[in-house]
Amino acid sequence: MPKNIIATELAPPAVGPYAQAAEANGFVFCSGQIPLDPETGELVTASVAAATEQVLKNLQAVLAAAGLTLADVVKATVFLADMNDFAEMNGIYARYFPGTPPARACVEVSRLPKDARVEIEAVAAR
């Protein structure tokens, strides 16, 4: 099964030994995006809403590099540093996935890279 690596400068570079996304068998597996501004490299920390917005913009950029959009996402996983931020994150998330949203899980974790408050990974289908 051949694997195609997806990369774009319009999203933050990987902060470890992994690809922004990889495609195999018609699926694009997007690595978790945290709220790093790709232009400045700074973490967006103003609010969970602002952080979620940046995460989803980063995810859009990675998907665009693969020729896809958020409408092609079939599964997403949201990681929150604090489940009390769920409603704020969910309000922004809902704006990016109108109509028929993907399947999703949302979990609270003890810590995220760079102490981000939210991270989202996704799987899209071609």
Residues annotated as part of the active site: 106
Closest to 62 measured CA to CA, from 2, 110, 22: 22
| Burial class of residue 27 (count of CB atoms within 10 Å of its CB; 0-12, 13-18, 19+) | middle
Quote the crossing angle between the two packed helices 86-96 and 48-65, to the nearest 10°.
30
